[in-house]
Amino acid sequence: MSSEFDESWTDLAERLEGYDQVPQAMHCAALLRRAMPRWEERVIVSSWWVHGLRFAAASTERPPDEQVRVQWSEGTFEFKLTRGREAGLVTADRCRTENGTTLLDAFLVQIAGGEVPIG
């Protein structure tokens, strides 16, 4: 996978938490922390600026250009599953902040396969 995914989940969460004046970064860091126990072994993550997250399957069995992108704004997470070099949209959804982990699980299972891990 490309070098944009070289940062560990923990390092990325810590880096985002360093932007304590940026609500988007703080909410993305919290979402990462909640999802980490279930997904860290199956999914890799990166950020684009401090405003969002990008997830891809850690396995080479899935297309490397299949990604889940997450963004937070004013109490709402927006999720997009994209595929292809031109980032073609496959599906998208939004939810309130408190439901972010549940919806993230639903999106990550689409790129990682299998079932939502228990954790």
Residue with tokens 């684009």: 48
CB burial of 31-70 (b: ≥16 within 10 Å; e: otherwise) equals: bbbebbebbbebbbbbbeebbbbbbbbbeeeeeeebbbbb
**The pLDDT of residue 2 is above 60:** no
| Edge-to-edge strand ranges of the sheet holding 52-57 | 43-48, 52-57, 67-73, 76-83, 88-96
Query: Residues 54, 69: contact at Cβ < 8 Å?
Result: yes
Residue with tokens 């988007």: 24
CA-CA distance, 47 to 8, in Å (whole number)?
Answer: 11
pTM of the model: 0.88
Domain boundaries, the chain: 3-112
Q: What is the pLDDT of residue 13?
A: 96
**The pLDDT of residue 115 is above 90:** no
Digit-coded pLDDT (tens) for 43-89? 999 987 778 999 999 876 655 678 999 999 999 999 999 988 776 89
CA-CA distance, 61 to 50, in Å (whole number)?
Answer: 29
Digit-coded pLDDT (tens) for 8-27? 999 999 999 999 999 999 99
Rounded average pLDDT over 24-38: 96
